[in-house]
Structure 1
Amino acid sequence: MAEHVVITDESGEPNPYLLGVYAPVQDELTAGELTVIGRIPTDLNGVYLRNGPNARYPVQGRYHWFDGDGMVHAMHFENGTARYRNRWVRTRAFEAESAAGHSLFTGVMESPKGNPFGNARGLPFKDTANTDVIFHRGRVLASWYLCGSPYGLDPLSLETLGADTFLDTLNGDFMAHPKVDEATGELFWFDYGPRAPYLRYGVVGASGAVEHCVELDLPGARLPHDMGITENYAILMDLPLYQDLEAARQGRYKLTFDRELPARFGVIPRRGTEVRWFEAKPCYIYHVVNAWEEGEEIVMDVCRVSRPAPSGTGSPLSRMISYLKLDARMYRYRFDLRTGRTSEAYTDPDHNTEFPSIDARATGRPTRYAYNVSVADAETNLFDGLVRYDNRTGGKETYSFGPGVYGSEAPFAPRDGSTGEDDGYLVTFVTDERENRSEVQILDASRISDGPVARILLPQRVPLGFHATWVREDQLR
């Protein structure tokens, strides 16, 4: 089976995010009758989907890991059988480049002045929809990390259904990590941009239309990535990481982390217009674990990054690699709605873990368990295992993929008739860099240290990527 591997970008330097376990694949496959080691549980029914960057054409200029075209890989489980499928996310930019037969865009490390178009709010970069996948109202939505169009996908065929405008009510963009409340059918989102209004917050109702949208005042352009919700509130972020405006005027993309500014968290009623800001120590946050209410307090667990700015003064490529390297710890905030005070502390100060997931049925409600990936001590981002955190006992359980083997975000997949947050499985794509092959591993969520109950060998390598989701069989119906 042919693979297209881009060895270098136009800088001439070997770029590790185009090599080995990251190297893009070009084939779109559908495959059943796969080799299974162990036994696929018959009470695991649904589909596991994972998004990620997959460069289709040699890039113009220097390649950034976030530049690759979105490709979703999926494994559908049904009554003890499994079927693999992968498809490109056919965005507007993907279709334009397909028609041209070559790349039309530069990436985020180059000047975007020649790019044919950008996103709705004025950011002139290529929207690849390569970052996250969530399920809402019968379709999967693929999103982009810098705010773009949410692209609808059929969860089984992976056919791109087009940019979702939510019944022609979405006016603007859509951030990388919207939140779905399964209890109400609502979807919560924000967008941001280089021009005022710098932040907008909205709610898509169970009707499928945007039913609430409000502009929020910020002191300048920021780069928020995620948010939290509780039963009554949404939590937004104003963090001291932002684009260097002078560099932007020169056509360069440079980030500044200002340690003199606090991190701010905006608590707003779900359908409210007035936001209340809580201050905390400066940091950056890529991903929220979950948030909930305890009396008059809001609790929010996150993976907190204390050093988000790139270190060193080497080549642009080395600075990019430094900037991308995740160094995050599990952290808890408490926002007291009576006093306006913030309390904050590490819940695991030692383990570098990220890409968290929970039982999606409990989003916005108190949760006991979180399932994270363990970040390897390596030059690039490699996930070398899984970690299960127990909020009740403070304990954690770990599983290592083994030497030279790296996995993906592993969302919780409830078993049929599941009665709890660990009554089910974790599913993950795993790639062995030594053998250049991939598989799917299924672990019992209540005993991840036991290792996989089943391994399913795949017909092609799955490049390392970003976020994943689990869609239950009852949701597919």
Structure 2
Amino acid sequence: MPVLEDSVSHLSHTNRFLRGNFAPVTVETTAFDLPVKGKIPEELEGRLLRIGPNPIGMPQEEHYHWFTGTGMAHGLRLRSGKAEWYRNRFVVDGFNASALGRPDLRGPRNGDGKNVANTNILDMGGRTYAIVEAGGLPVELTYTLESVARSNLGGTLEHGFVAHPKLDPSTGQLLAVSYEPQLEALTYMVVDPDGRAEARASIPAPHRPMVHDMAFTPTWVIVLDLPVTFNPARMSSGLPFAWNPERTPRLGLLPRNGDVKQMRWVEAPSCYVFHVMNAFDDGSAVVMDVVRHPRTLDKEHHGPGEGISKLVRWRISLLTGKLTETVLEERGCEFPRFNDEFGGKEYRFGYTAATDEEFQFGPAFKHDVSTGRTEVHDYGPGRATLEPVFIARKGAIEEDDGWVMSYVYNAERNASDVVILDAKAFSEKPVASISLPVRVPFGFHGNWVPDHI
């Protein structure tokens, strides 16, 4: 049901993160029995969820940063080989509640912030949450993506949450490293399978870095302390962080038990990493595959796009503490994913969305990180994929036995499709393509949430 007039055409066209498929949509849509080309695997029963920024009204274009827009959740429900429904819903926060004609959410608060949740959407403890970093609390959503309440996970969150909790498939736990602009420490926390959090370490960080992601192995939690730090001069722009050339980039190897006294710091290349693909131990070193940006939040004040972001492998010698780098993919890419059953373990395949210097999207990549070979799936002229999500086939033995699903923008009809690829036949014709009635703007992250977890 629409809640606001769709006024995308009236938005500013000088800020590139407010035009094209970055532009927000202003209508909440519910559509049933969606048209399908090909055949949806009947095994896929659940929801493909994703989220991204979607400001209401006319943002101040000179100050608007892509990371700060109020959130909108998107979901496609599959069952019995059919696309039953698509829904998009605003995630209610302190900025958009009145514009939507809705009351502010109930639930606890963390400080005086507006609690914009726009970065990831996932299942924790059998509940659906929209999540964000930098002090924001999770927002619980219904199965059909209506906002329910802010949550501190049953009183177990000491501060805010994170955008990228990482699943350890060996334990069922989610591991996370959180930060907040007002705190001079990072928090390493663990969320159990029931959705309750435990803070295991406080890591001193008086320079207050922006820590978007993390990694883990069976032995270590890997903390990214890179040269983007809190900068009060940027407060008016809505994103008070900036590139800080005076900070030496480093990685922290923290024992999984959280013993900060045993933490080891390693100097890293000068860069910024929003996203880690995976990490593992190889006996003598910690290996982690990351998407490395030359820099960010420096001269570009509206979003990423300060040079090509490349997939690289960092190998940290446990004997010498030295880091060496190997480029796995020269072409620009972002939003790395892999088979989650290999989290923290040696693995072979990962998936990314192609990007260019201005952070425009295109085909999807399948990376064989053991050989350096990359396969490409080109969705066709005027089509661009969002984050590709891997779903393993039930009973799969091979790592890439499953599907890659993503929301794909189709410029020809100014709307989006959900495209399902056979991961083992990645560059071939899609298994199925589901036509949505509206655009899904370029946003951030999402997950496949099966109905029976």
Task: Give TM-score scaled by structure 2 length.
Answer: 0.89
* Cα displacement (A) at 1:300: 0.9
> Alignment partner for residue 151 of structure 2, among 161, 164, 188?
164
Q: In structure 2, what is the equivalent of residue 26 of structure 1?
A: 26
The answer to whether the Cα contact below 8 Å between 1:413 and 1:425 also exists between their aligned partners in 2 is yes
Paired amino acid for 1:262: T
Identity %, equivalent residues? 35
1:142 aligned onto 2:130: yes
The answer to whether the Cα contact below 8 Å between 2:134 and 2:181 also exists between their aligned partners in 1 is no
Q: In structure 2, what is the equivalent of residue 269 of structure 1?
A: 255
> Alignment partner for residue 240 of structure 1, among 200, 213, 227?
227
Paired amino acid for 2:253: V
* Cα displacement (A) at 1:278: 1.2
Aligned counterparts, 1:239-258, within 5 A: 239-245=226-232, 247-248=233-234, 255-258=241-244
The answer to whether the Cα contact below 8 Å between 2:333 and 2:356 also exists between their aligned partners in 1 is no
The answer to whether the Cα contact below 8 Å between 1:261 and 1:282 also exists between their aligned partners in 2 is no
* Cα displacement (A) at 1:212: 3.1
The answer to whether the Cα contact below 8 Å between 1:130 and 1:143 also exists between their aligned partners in 2 is yes
1:369 aligned onto 2:349: yes
* Cα displacement (A) at 1:449: 0.8
DSSP 3-state at the match of 1:177: coil
Q: In structure 2, what is the equivalent of residue 120 of structure 1?
A: 110
Go from structure 1 to structure 2 and tell me whether the alpha carbon gap of 1:16 and 1:60 turns closer, same or farther (over 3 Å shift): closer
1:462 aligned onto 2:440: yes
Task: List per-residue Cα deviations over 1:3-34 (Å, max 9, x = no partner).
Answer: 6234566xx76433333323322333332222
Task: Give TM-score scaled by structure 1 length.
Answer: 0.85
Following the alignment from structure 1 to structure 2, what is the Cα–Cα distance between the partners of residues 212 and 64?
Answer: 31
Paired amino acid for 2:310: R
Q: In structure 2, what is the equivalent of residue 72 of structure 1?
A: 73
Q: In structure 1, what is the equivalent of residue 269 of structure 2?
A: 281
Paired amino acid for 1:65: W
Following the alignment from structure 1 to structure 2, what is the Cα–Cα distance between the partners of residues 8 and 15?
Answer: 13
DSSP 3-state at the match of 1:439: strand
Go from structure 1 to structure 2 and tell me whether the alpha carbon gap of 1:172 and 1:368 turns closer, same or farther (over 3 Å shift): same
Mean Cα deviation higher: 19-28 or 355-364: 19-28
Go from structure 1 to structure 2 and tell me whether the alpha carbon gap of 1:347 and 1:64 turns closer, same or farther (over 3 Å shift): same
Paired amino acid for 1:75: L
Paired amino acid for 2:210: L
* Cα displacement (A) at 1:309: 4.4
Following the alignment from structure 2 to structure 1, what is the Cα–Cα distance between the partners of residues 288 and 18?
Answer: 35
DSSP 3-state at the match of 2:17: helix
Paired amino acid for 2:119: T
The answer to whether the Cα contact below 8 Å between 1:41 and 1:80 also exists between their aligned partners in 2 is yes
> Alignment partner for residue 397 of structure 1, among 332, 356, 375?
375
DSSP 3-state at the match of 1:446: helix
Paired amino acid for 1:202: M
Following the alignment from structure 1 to structure 2, what is the Cα–Cα distance between the partners of residues 175 and 22?
Answer: 23
* Cα displacement (A) at 1:206: 3.4
* Cα displacement (A) at 1:448: 1.5
Q: In structure 2, what is the equivalent of residue 189 of structure 1?
A: 176
DSSP 3-state at the match of 2:171: coil
> Alignment partner for residue 91 of structure 1, among 90, 93, 100?
93
Q: In structure 2, what is the equivalent of residue 353 of structure 1?
A: 333
Following the alignment from structure 1 to structure 2, what is the Cα–Cα distance between the partners of residues 127 and 157?
Answer: 21
Go from structure 1 to structure 2 and tell me whether the alpha carbon gap of 1:248 and 1:438 turns closer, same or farther (over 3 Å shift): closer
The answer to whether the Cα contact below 8 Å between 1:353 and 1:375 also exists between their aligned partners in 2 is yes
Q: In structure 1, what is the equivalent of residue 207 of structure 2?
A: 220
Task: List per-residue Cα deviations over 1:291-318 (Å, max 9, x = no partner).
Answer: 111114211110011232444xxxxxxx
Q: In structure 2, what is the equivalent of residue 316 of structure 1?
A: none
> Alignment partner for residue 310 of structure 2, among 329, 332, 352?
329
The answer to whether the Cα contact below 8 Å between 1:412 and 1:427 also exists between their aligned partners in 2 is yes
* Cα displacement (A) at 1:469: 1.0
Mean Cα deviation higher: 249-258 or 83-92: 249-258
Q: In structure 2, what is the equivalent of residue 5 of structure 1?
A: 7
DSSP 3-state at the match of 2:433: strand
> Alignment partner for residue 424 of structure 2, among 446, 469, 473?
446
DSSP 3-state at the match of 2:431: strand
Across the aligned residues of Structure 1 and Structure 2, the Cα RMSD in angstroms comes to 2.8
* Cα displacement (A) at 1:241: 1.6
* Cα displacement (A) at 1:322: 6.7
Which consecutive residues of structure 2, in runs of 5 or more, have no partner in the other structure? none
DSSP 3-state at the match of 2:275: strand
Which consecutive residues of structure 1, in runs of 5 or more, have no partner in the other structure? 105-117, 312-318
Go from structure 1 to structure 2 and tell me whether the alpha carbon gap of 1:100 and 1:411 turns closer, same or farther (over 3 Å shift): closer
DSSP 3-state at the match of 1:130: coil
Go from structure 1 to structure 2 and tell me whether the alpha carbon gap of 1:452 and 1:203 turns closer, same or farther (over 3 Å shift): same
Go from structure 1 to structure 2 and tell me whether the alpha carbon gap of 1:88 and 1:418 turns closer, same or farther (over 3 Å shift): farther
Following the alignment from structure 1 to structure 2, what is the Cα–Cα distance between the partners of residues 362 and 447?
Answer: 20
Paired amino acid for 1:85: R
Q: In structure 1, what is the equivalent of residue 396 of structure 2?
A: 418
DSSP 3-state at the match of 2:53: coil
Paired amino acid for 2:78: F
DSSP 3-state at the match of 1:17: helix
* Cα displacement (A) at 1:222: 1.0
DSSP 3-state at the match of 2:365: strand
* Cα displacement (A) at 1:147: 4.0
Go from structure 1 to structure 2 and tell me whether the alpha carbon gap of 1:188 and 1:214 turns closer, same or farther (over 3 Å shift): same
Q: In structure 1, what is the equivalent of residue 411 of structure 2?
A: 433
Following the alignment from structure 2 to structure 1, what is the Cα–Cα distance between the partners of residues 429 and 269?
Answer: 38
Q: In structure 2, what is the equivalent of residue 55 of structure 1?
A: 55
Task: List per-residue Cα deviations over 1:135-166 (Å, max 9, x = no partner).
Answer: 22212332225441122234x32233422312
Task: List per-residue Cα deviations over 1:357-398 (Å, max 9, x = no partner).
Answer: 011222112221100000145x4x322010001122221100
Go from structure 1 to structure 2 and tell me whether the alpha carbon gap of 1:369 and 1:226 turns closer, same or farther (over 3 Å shift): same
